[in-house]
A and B are shown apart, each in its own frame.
Chain A
Amino acid sequence: MPKIENTTGMPINLIIDELKSDDIRKRIHSVKHLDLIASTIGPDRTKNELIPFIQELLDDDDEVLIELVDSLSRNFVELVGGQVQVLLPTFEALCRVEDASVREKAANQIKKCLTQLPDQKKVEELSIGIIKRLNDSDYYMAKNAVAILIPAIFNQVSQNNQNDLINIILKMSQDQIPQVRKFTSMYFQDLVKHFPLVNETFIQNILNSFIKDEQDFIRMYIVDALIQASKTPFLQKQQNFVLNMFKQLAEDQSWRVRYYFCDKLAEIGEAVTKEGYRKNFQNYHLKFLQDNEPEMKSIAALKIERVSTLMDPEDILNKLIPLLKSIQSDTNAFVRNALASSVLALCPIIGKKNTSEQILPIFLTLLKDQDSEVRITLFKKLSLITNVLGVDSLSQSVIPALTELAQDKNWRIRASTIEVLSFFARAIGPEFLSDKVLKLLLDWMGDKVFSVRQTAIQQTAQLISILGLAWADKNLLTKIWAFQSIQNYLHRLTVLFTINQITSQLNNEYIIKTIVPILQSMAKDSVANIRSNVCRTSIQLAKEKGGNVVDPMKKILQTLSDDQDAEVKYQAKSALESL
């Protein structure tokens, strides 16, 4: 592989020394550049000297270890000359640390390394060795990696070894330390995929012991295991078992387990097919919408979008929509927000007449919600209802709501509302960006708060990329260029910042015709800040666009290099030099 270039500005031996520096930031920096060190000393020395030295780093702070595992994951296989097994002991040691993310990454790297070994026997020997050592370790956290690795190599080892691995999982699932049982439960979904290599009885036994576990986080992950099991022939063979267990989880006394179940409703529906969903789980979703716990109502409302594709439109009308009336006026804003993000997905399913009768009232209520987040979320999904009911009929209600948000006292809300415009442009098209809406955009560009103006400028760039320069010029840009004559210099600056932002979308013709005169006129502005920004804009245009734009820019810069302001003069001169 090509040698890595040293861009650190430090000699390599210093980087090596700083691996053991007292300053943690220096250690992190050195660890980040392990690949540089390895590349410089070559594969043999990396294998024989660097990798063993890394053992000394394993006792370090979590921050360093996170960096270490990332660093080793990048391209170290090549850096050790393709000899993958050299890296395995280091990753194995990293599977024993306290930080969960490091352990998981290290275990996944071991998985990756094993896939790159050609000799199947070697893979079996190495993986079983690693798994057994980690399992026997004093550090119970090491069993995390065991739970990750066993499913990864299960189908590549002998029958005898498979039996040993099954026994390890059985023991872990009954360990007295809850975290160990948690690891087993979290990754059991990967082991289940190997059915029928892992037999029915085993799966049932493990799941039966998990469902009785008093720890919420162990019962929770059964949902994932059942989903995976349903994708294999296990579902046909043990349909009642699977459905019953799903139901137990949906009725669990701990709301966190019910929450997790609800979160995965769409995947469950896909696994058991529409008929299965409607018969067994639809009612649970409807019940969750009426749960006392706001978190449950929230997740159930959020899932409306996805489960609606599994439901019969009749049921949506008769059973689902009546429940939404109480949710739209729920006291908790998160619940209403969740509703706003998914209710409009029902429109295409139930057709124009029903949308108009049933969804439109909800839509209009949410549009007037006191929480601005709710209104903004609703806007982002607007296209779903406009596609069904048409833009015109809605603009009467939408535009006032948009205007109100656009003038909100809180600048952050004004800024978020601006972003909604590109949703409109993309989903609905230019018809929605009527005069009224564009006026809002121009108001935003003249807002008191810089961040709002900045967001507006960025949106303008977005709109150009979606709707084209011609449309933008006709409807928008000409009005922006008119800002040149505003008395407050901050707004005149907006003109220049806009040019900066949309440079890539302008063609040279347009620049020469429209932009150059603007810059020429602003180069004579009385405020030095403006003239300074003219320099910046000019050099940017010249460099990015080249061609026939360069000369006019040079001329502007030349006039400015005689400016009375020292800063402007300096900028113009150095700009000219760089050209």
Chain B
Amino acid sequence: MKKQDWKFMQVFGDKASSDNVSDEDIISAVQFERTGRFLGLGDKAGRLIIFEVPQNKKRDKAEYQYLTELQSHTREFDFLKSTDIEEKINQIQWLRAQGKNMYVLSTNDKTVKLWKVSEKNVTKVIKPSGKDLAMPKLQVVESGLIPSVRKVFPNLHNYHINSLTASNNEEFVLTSDDLKVYLWSIEQPSKAFVAVDLKPENLDELSEVITSSTFHPTLDNQFLYTTSKGIIKLCDMRKSGICDNTAITMTEPEDPAKKNFFTEIVTSISDACFSRNGKYIFSRDFLTVKVWDIAMTNKPVATVQVFEPLKSKLCDLYENECIFDKFSIQSTLDSNSFVTGNFNSTFHIVDRQGECNSQYELNFNKKTVVRQIPPKYFENLGSSYDFNRKVLKISMCQTQNLFAIACLNCLYFYTA
């Protein structure tokens, strides 16, 4: 397999702002638009920020520029449960652009919204209709990219939405919360279909929750979902209505000898994705990445320790609650490697067989800082190892070797 050479390309953000980052600026979602021309960013303050590659520049010198932003969600109060509904954007999905109009789905914990951003002229009445019943005279007061909400998907989820994916044919949206996976029709947001229901008869018996879900990159009838017990289920909507019973299960049984207090927590899958060619599944739990071949579902083809030194720090990580952080994972375009984040402003790119683990360090010097992590690696993580600098969100471009990766309030681009 040809090894890819990933290099730093661009960064939004600087050291000063990163040192004093306010909570609300933390990036909580990143997603490329399908052609790679646009990139959407969501933050804890509920803002959706859009970047674009200006069309007139040459392709290889293409750099992203800020285009526009909108307030996607605001803080709400759930009267029934007496809790706040955070405005933090959990996930973003792009739909096909039409003409000059962009369509973006964004979701917080409870509500999915479809936004349209278009070149519009906002007009105002400057001379109203009078006795003669003439039509009002209008004047353009604002011109440019104006966002508007096209559809709101009614609050169906009882628990927090953890994933949002649009199918390739853009007919359906898949959302999942702790217990259910719903299939929505984009055309008619009032109709949702339960695809998976993990609710037990007796809620006291609850032992497993859904942690993420995603559609297959090309086959619109297949999707996967992952659970807190480290199980991946591959479902086919063609086989049955409620997909749980006919799903293919992928899980590695626990080794009872290695079980400890933290095992249950670290086996929970934080994110999983299909490889671009749809043949493999990469699943990320706290310490490892498992590579599954869909044609062989009894065991993973590879299990990669992302960064072994963390194993000895599990007590500290439990104390500072970083053990519950959810790292995302993305497949490279050639399906031969995956990219996933880590602490201390680092991320890893590893090949599919788990042989070559490269750790990159995000920095503001526009340099590509990379080192190889050999298997069975140990390092004493000193006090300078910053658990707050978490690299949680990544998005891979679907048309070229380029990905966007976020750490706190800064966005980096790497290209190969």
Q: Which A residues have a C-beta under 8 Å from some C-beta of B?
A: 12-13, 16-17, 19-20, 37, 40-41, 45, 49-50, 52-53, 56, 59, 61-62, 98, 100, 137-141, 177-179, 214-217, 253-256, 292-295
Report the bound CA distance from A20 to B125 in whole Å.
7
Give the residues from 217 to 256 in chain B that come closer than 8 angstroms, CB to CB, to chain A: 219-221, 237-241
Q: Are B96 and A177 in contact (CB under 8 A)?
A: yes
Distance in Å from the Cβ of A300 to the closest Cβ of chain B?
Answer: 14
Please tell me which one of the listed residues B96, B99, B138, B150 contacts residue A62 in the complex, with CB atoms under 8 A apart.
B150
Given contacts A16-B133, A40-B133, contact A253 B238 (CB under 8 A): yes
Q: Are B131 and A56 in contact (CB under 8 A)?
A: no
Q: Are B133 and A12 in contact (CB under 8 A)?
A: yes
Contacts of A17 in B (CB 8 A): 125, 128-129, 136
B190 beta carbon closer than 8 Å to chain A: no
Interface string of B131-155 (1 = CB under 8 A from A): 1011110100000000010110000
Closest to A59 in B: B120
Ordered by A's residue number, 9 sampled pairs between the chains whose C-beta atoms are within 8 Å are A17-B125, A49-B134, A56-B123, A178-B170, A179-B169, A179-B171, A214-B219, A253-B238, A254-B221
Q: Are B221 and A13 in contact (CB under 8 A)?
A: no
Give the residues from 62 to 81 in chain B that come closer than 8 angstroms, CB to CB, to chain A: none
Report the bound CA distance from A342 to B96 in whole Å.
44
Distance in Å from the Cβ of B21 to the closest Cβ of chain A?
Answer: 37
| From A16, A41, A217, A292, residue with most partner B Cβ within 10 Å | A16
Give the residues from 83 to 99 in chain B that come closer than 8 angstroms, CB to CB, to chain A: 96, 98-99
Closest to A295 in B: B241
B116 beta carbon closer than 8 Å to chain A: yes
Given contacts A141-B98, A216-B221, A255-B239, contact A178 B131 (CB under 8 A): no
Contacts of B319 in A (CB 8 A): none
Q: Are B125 and A215 in contact (CB under 8 A)?
A: no
The secondary structure that dominates the B interface is loop
Contacts of B123 in A (CB 8 A): 20, 56
Q: Are A216 and B238 in contact (CB under 8 A)?
A: yes
Give the residues from 166 to 198 in chain B that come closer than 8 angstroms, CB to CB, to chain A: 168-171, 187
Contacts of B239 in A (CB 8 A): 253, 255, 293
Contacts of B125 in A (CB 8 A): 17, 20
Q: Are B241 and A56 in contact (CB under 8 A)?
A: no
Please tell me which one of the listed residues A50, A56, A98, A293 contacts residue B240 in the complex, with CB atoms under 8 A apart.
A293
Report the bound CA distance from A50 to B151 in whole Å.
29
Interface string of B279-309 (1 = CB under 8 A from A): 0000000000000000000000000000000
Report the bound CA distance from A255 to B243 in whole Å.
12
Contacts of B382 in A (CB 8 A): none
17 other A-B residue contacts (CB within 8 Å) besides A216-B221, A294-B241? A13-B130, A16-B135, A16-B136, A17-B136, A20-B123, A20-B138, A62-B151, A98-B150, A100-B187, A138-B98, A138-B99, A139-B98, A177-B96, A178-B220, A254-B221, A254-B237, A256-B237
Report the bound CA distance from A528 to B150 in whole Å.
53
Report the bound CA distance from A69 to B237 in whole Å.
36
Distance in Å from the Cβ of B361 to the closest Cβ of chain A?
Answer: 41
Contacts of B219 in A (CB 8 A): 214
Contacts of B128 in A (CB 8 A): 13, 17
Contacts of A53 in B (CB 8 A): 135
Top 8 nearest A-B pairs (CB, nearest first) are A138-B99, A254-B238, A178-B169, A16-B129, A13-B129, A53-B135, A17-B128, A139-B98
Q: Are A217 and B171 in contact (CB under 8 A)?
A: yes
| From B151, B187, B241, residue with most partner A Cβ within 10 Å | B241
Q: Are A140 and B133 in contact (CB under 8 A)?
A: no
| From B99, B129, B241, residue with most partner A Cβ within 10 Å | B129
Closest to A258 in B: B238
Closest to A45 in B: B133
Distance in Å from the Cβ of A219 to the closest Cβ of chain B?
Answer: 11
Report the bound CA distance from A70 to B136 in whole Å.
23
Contacts of A59 in B (CB 8 A): 120
Contacts of B187 in A (CB 8 A): 100
Report the bound CA distance from A254 to B124 in whole Å.
51
Contacts of A41 in B (CB 8 A): 133
Contacts of A141 in B (CB 8 A): 98
Report the bound CA distance from A92 to B200 in whole Å.
52
Q: Are B138 and A61 in contact (CB under 8 A)?
A: no
Closest to A15 in B: B129
Q: Are B220 and A215 in contact (CB under 8 A)?
A: yes
Contacts of B130 in A (CB 8 A): 13
Contacts of A98 in B (CB 8 A): 116, 150
Interface string of B371-394 (1 = CB under 8 A from A): 000000000000000000000000
Report the bound CA distance from A140 to B95 in whole Å.
13
Contacts of B116 in A (CB 8 A): 98
Closest to B131 in A: A13
Closest to A218 in B: B169
Report the bound CA distance from A16 to B136 in whole Å.
7
Contacts of A255 in B (CB 8 A): 238-241
Contacts of B120 in A (CB 8 A): 59
Distance in Å from the Cβ of B316 to the closest Cβ of chain A?
Answer: 50
Distance in Å from the Cβ of B217 to the closest Cβ of chain A?
Answer: 13
Report the bound CA distance from A141 to B221 in whole Å.
23
Report the bound CA distance from A376 to B168 in whole Å.
43
Q: Are A20 and B220 in contact (CB under 8 A)?
A: no
Report the bound CA distance from A45 to B134 in whole Å.
9
Report the bound CA distance from A40 to B171 in whole Å.
44
Contacts of A216 in B (CB 8 A): 221, 238
Report the bound CA distance from A59 to B171 in whole Å.
23
Closest to A256 in B: B238
Distance in Å from the Cβ of A465 to the closest Cβ of chain B?
Answer: 36
Report the bound CA distance from A16 to B220 in whole Å.
47
Please tell me which one of the listed residues B134, B138, B168, B237 contacts residue A56 in the complex, with CB atoms under 8 A apart.
B138
Contacts of A62 in B (CB 8 A): 150-151
Q: Are A139 and B136 in contact (CB under 8 A)?
A: no
Report the bound CA distance from A556 to B98 in whole Å.
71
Distance in Å from the Cβ of A294 to the closest Cβ of chain B?
Answer: 7
Contacts of B221 in A (CB 8 A): 216, 254
Report the bound CA distance from A19 to B123 in whole Å.
12
Closest to A13 in B: B129
Q: Are A293 and B238 in contact (CB under 8 A)?
A: no
Contacts of B134 in A (CB 8 A): 49
Report the bound CA distance from A233 to B129 in whole Å.
59
Closest to B241 in A: A295
Q: Are A178 and B171 in contact (CB under 8 A)?
A: yes
Distance in Å from the Cβ of A212 to the closest Cβ of chain B?
Answer: 15
Q: Are B129 and A139 in contact (CB under 8 A)?
A: no
Distance in Å from the Cβ of B134 to the closest Cβ of chain A?
Answer: 7
Distance in Å from the Cβ of B102 to the closest Cβ of chain A?
Answer: 13
Report the bound CA distance from A37 to B136 in whole Å.
13
Report the bound CA distance from A478 to B76 in whole Å.
57
Report the bound CA distance from A561 to B129 in whole Å.
52
Given contacts A13-B128, A255-B240, contact A215 B169 (CB under 8 A): yes
Contacts of B135 in A (CB 8 A): 16, 49-50, 52-53
Distance in Å from the Cβ of B56 to the closest Cβ of chain A?
Answer: 19
Closest to B239 in A: A255
Report the bound CA distance from A45 to B220 in whole Å.
51
Closest to B240 in A: A293
Contacts of B129 in A (CB 8 A): 13, 16-17
Closest to A252 in B: B238
Q: Are A292 and B240 in contact (CB under 8 A)?
A: yes
Closest to B114 in A: A98
Contacts of A217 in B (CB 8 A): 171
Contacts of B138 in A (CB 8 A): 20, 56
Contacts of A214 in B (CB 8 A): 219-220
Report the bound CA distance from A253 to B239 in whole Å.
7
Contacts of A49 in B (CB 8 A): 134-135
Closest to A53 in B: B135
Report the bound CA distance from A139 to B168 in whole Å.
18
Closest to A50 in B: B135
Distance in Å from the Cβ of A482 to the closest Cβ of chain B?
Answer: 46
Interface string of B112-125 (1 = CB under 8 A from A): 00001000100111
Distance in Å from the Cβ of A330 to the closest Cβ of chain B?
Answer: 14
